[in-house]
Amino acid sequence: MRTLIFDTDIGVDDAFALAFAARTQRLLGITTVFGNVAVGQAVKNARLFCEKMQIDVPIYRGCSRPLALTPSEPAKLHGEDGLGDAFVNPYSDIAPGAVQFIIDSVRAQPHEITLVAIGPLTNIASAINQAPDIIPLVKELVIMGGAFGTDGHSGNVTPFAEFNIWKDPHAADQVLSSALNVVVIPLDVTHNVLISSEEVHQLNQPVLSAIVRPFLAYSLQKEGFDGMALHDTLAIAWLCQPEAFRLVQSPLRVITEGIACGQTVRKIGPLASREDPFHHLPTQRIALGVDAALVRNRFLCTLSDRNGSPP
């Protein structure tokens, strides 16, 4: 069990990940960021979901826009409010600052806090820009984001870019090229861990069943699958079952302009070149393979309370 700061632009699959994290990890705080929804809506969503799911954890308000790009529209596959338009949301969008909370928490508990980032990386980039002293003090940063083309799994916003990275590529480039201890969980593995709509409802989690409807409809329409990829949940699965993942190690960069803006790129060979964009960069870990059955079983057992974990 890790002590987590859970950084999220909370939409439907983020909510599934948060429910899983609340049952398997120690949540120190939820920091919100723009992405699937505006940051104020993310604060409201985090409060609503935590109240509905009886998750007792403080919530913080983070960055409202990318570091450099003009903000883009929120995602629509999560419904207008990000949680499937399933509930009236009476909660306030006012909350303490997320970036300062990250900085203060890491300083107070050096080498003890794992950051899990399942939205744009703007809060994380802002924290290390404002307080670079925290970089060696973070235990681990687990990111759901990016795509490297394994088995054809490339971008889901453009042919090159995954949504979370595309939303703020400058922040992602800063974070992935930093000395933080990073594990990247990209679309290469998240697209391989699927649960059917029937399995969602068999969890006997009324809140999850309510919020997931537009997400399932989008998946059926766009991908022909009556179910969902667990995407963000795999960042938590890494903490629970690292043995289920096959990792490679490489320096990383993110393309920040042009038609490939938001593409995550890794160094894939030693061939000498005139200019090396990876020169002196630290090596990061990237998940390019996953035991989907192992991860699915743990998730389904945990959320359905079948002894909390697989046999």
The answer to whether the CB of 3 falls within 8 A of the CB of 108 is no
Q: Give the angle 212-216-217 at the CA atoms, nearest 5°.
A: 120
Integer Cα distance of 36 and 134 in angstroms = 27
- 209 three-state secondary structure: helix
Integer Cα distance of 148 and 169 in angstroms = 15
Enumerate the H helices of 205-260 as residue ranges. Answer: 206-211, 213-223, 233-240
b vs e for 144-172, b when ≥16 Cβ sit within 10 Å of the residue's Cβ?
bbbbbebeebbbbbeebbbbbbbbbbbbb
Integer Cα distance of 115 and 4 in angstroms = 6
**3-state DSSP helix/strand/coil percent for the chain, to nearest 5?**
40, 20, 45
Q: How many residues does the chain have?
A: 311
The answer to whether the CB of 206 falls within 8 A of the CB of 168 is no
Catalytic residues: 231
Count of CA atoms in the C-beta half-sphere (13 A) of 137? 15
